[in-house]
A and B are shown apart, each in its own frame.
Chain A
């Protein structure tokens, strides 16, 4: 029986994977072919979705951008045996976009059946947890510290140190909370790992719980990911049934369970203290730090709040050793980063690679430039709170510190490409507008400053006292940066300032003489 892989990843569904699946089933039935359909995650070659794969003795052969109307011709071409067809991309694992990656966190994503625990184990799943139980909690934290893994949510705080802080905090109970409120535009790595390999997150949370002495974990998932919630629910049930969660995790005597919670459309709840407030059932208002969540977190107890990718990387670190992970990357940015190449880009997708590629290599060589074919004018790195970077800075290596030098951030690894039709004054205005919509309201500079920012940019665009208003806007940005508790108000000025710095002409259109045609 031929195995056919049709992704259930949300991005594949968005471009018709479900209709393609129906067409394949119908055609197979009509031709009397027996096939086994596996709903895998996405390989991350997203511009090729729906990417249908067929298992052959030579390996998995891929067919990209399949439409339901292509299905009869695929059968005619013998695609069940990997036959040649204009949509064939050959062996998926030899495709340069795949072959050049270093997949650690994403090693199984797109390959396995996400909700089949046997498949997970057959592909190396579970080894990290087994190792953890073997070496004990203190050594687990040592290993994670040794790996140099930093929080992948954006702040880049060393995961091992956070875990140790929680483990050392005296308490009657502790918690592990996965921040799956992936709200940054241009990011989808959390979603892809949860939809493509949910057990790795479950295993990572269990490892963390074991290391810090927690018996309860939460996944705080954003409401905008309904398909992801389905996969996670199935995976959690399967894990409980198989004894991977519960009173006695895999016979170790360690008790741990995970509850899935759904957010309600508040971007600020991706900030860890706001997330904890929301999880407790309050308004998602940011808390003052200190105390850190590591000391006083969920329900006042010591809590690890880590991003999905951080926790999903723990199993590989335990299985392969902290030193292996630390051997990848550059400077203080160790290991790999799943880059998310998005926006107006030809080869959009997920590309996991060690830190250190330059931005230009990522956007032009891997991403293939813009989809519209026009020149790249700006790349927003790190979501709505990240700077716009012009091509003149494309030699910047992708690592936490190198980006900070240019007043930008890598954030969650999302890169949104814009072509030369973009109006950067409008993007700056949107940055402020978004902050105004999403501000939790606790800090005045964020709550009111963002609205004043929109108004000031409007005046600049209209040509009212342009230079004076630009100065005012810069001053406002400074106030927001230093007068806000969390990254929303504190970083919302970065896209605005970067637009002012790198694209000054876009703010002075009203005062400049019209260019001669």
Chain B
């Protein structure tokens, strides 16, 4: 997402150190790292392992367990489309499939111009307004082809 800064080991250490007082600080640190750099760079794993006094393997295991931690930067905008049952009851699978075909992307893929990443999500709690989506963290209900196309072109412009 926009606003992310390039990888910087010293800055990463600052973020890590700021959280070390917490009970179980790993997830808050990983969130803060991703917030800062736009993803969780491979380079932070040994650094974090050292700070938390656990093995690299263990740290790698934590980072890779959670769907939300990215291993590479996302596009400038991120669209999360819900694929859970409630949204399926309102035809979300077809809406998403057609949209992905139109913009020539697969689930999890990023557009060539770097404008948009489309990800699957399983329930946003918008189930009375299915299908639901999150665009850069903003919720959208009653998603249809028109809304999605608008978002894709909006993403290209900014």
Chain A interface residues (CB < 8 Å from chain B): 10-11, 13-15, 46-47, 49, 182-188, 190-191, 216, 223-227, 259, 261-267, 278-285, 298-299, 340-345, 348-349, 371, 380, 384, 414, 416-419, 422, 427, 430, 434, 437-438, 440
Contact = CB atoms under 8 A, between A and B. Distances in A.
B141 A14 contact: yes
A445 to B, nearest CB: 20
A495 to B, nearest CB: 8
Contacts of A341: 128
Given A282-B26, A434-B122, A14 B52 contact: no
B48 to A, nearest CB: 10
B123 interface: yes
17 contacts: A10-B139, A11-B125, A14-B132, A14-B139, A47-B128, A227-B139, A264-B27, A264-B68, A265-B66, A279-B24, A281-B52, A283-B61, A284-B65, A299-B23, A342-B127, A343-B86, A414-B127
- A47, A227, A416, A422 pick with most chain B CB within 10 angstroms: A416
A196 to B, nearest CB: 13
Nearest to B29: A281
A483 B113 CA distance: 47
B30 interface: yes
A170 to B, nearest CB: 20
Given A47-B128, A343-B90, A427-B85, A183 B123 contact: yes
B127 A416 contact: yes
Interface of B: 22-28, 30-31, 52, 58, 61-62, 65-69, 80, 84-90, 121-130, 132, 134, 137-142
Q: Is the interface of A mostly helix, strand, loop or mixed?
A: mixed
B128 A11 contact: yes
B146 to A, nearest CB: 14
B122 A11 contact: no
A308 B62 CA distance: 26
Nearest to A416: B86
B69 to A, nearest CB: 6
- A187, A188, A263, A278 pick with most chain B CB within 10 angstroms: A188
Given A47-B128, A266-B67, A342-B130, A15 B142 contact: yes
- A11, A299, A380 pick with most chain B CB within 10 angstroms: A11
Contact of A185 (B65, B80, B123, B141): B123
Contact of B137 (A47, A226, A348): A226
Nearest to A417: B89
A285 B24 CA distance: 15
B123 A224 contact: yes
Contacts of A263: 27, 66, 68
Nearest to B26: A281
- B130, B134, B142 pick with most chain A CB within 10 angstroms: B130
B28 to A, nearest CB: 7
Nearest to B64: A283
Contacts of A186: 84-86, 123, 127
Contacts of B22: 259
A187 B27 contact: no
Contacts of B28: 261-262
Give the 3 A-B residue pairs with the shortest CB-CB distance, closest first: A281-B26, A348-B128, A185-B84
A231 to B, nearest CB: 13
A281 B139 contact: no
Contacts of A47: 128
Nearest to B142: A15
Contacts of A419: 89
Nearest to A192: B125
A11 B137 CA distance: 13
Given A15-B141, A262-B27, A430 B85 contact: yes
B62 A14 contact: no
Contacts of B130: 342-344
Contacts of A259: 22
A190 B127 CA distance: 13
Nearest to A418: B89
Given A343-B90, A348-B128, A13 B24 contact: no
A343 B58 CA distance: 40
A302 B58 CA distance: 25
Contact of B126 (A11, A182, A427): A11
Contacts of A15: 129, 141-142
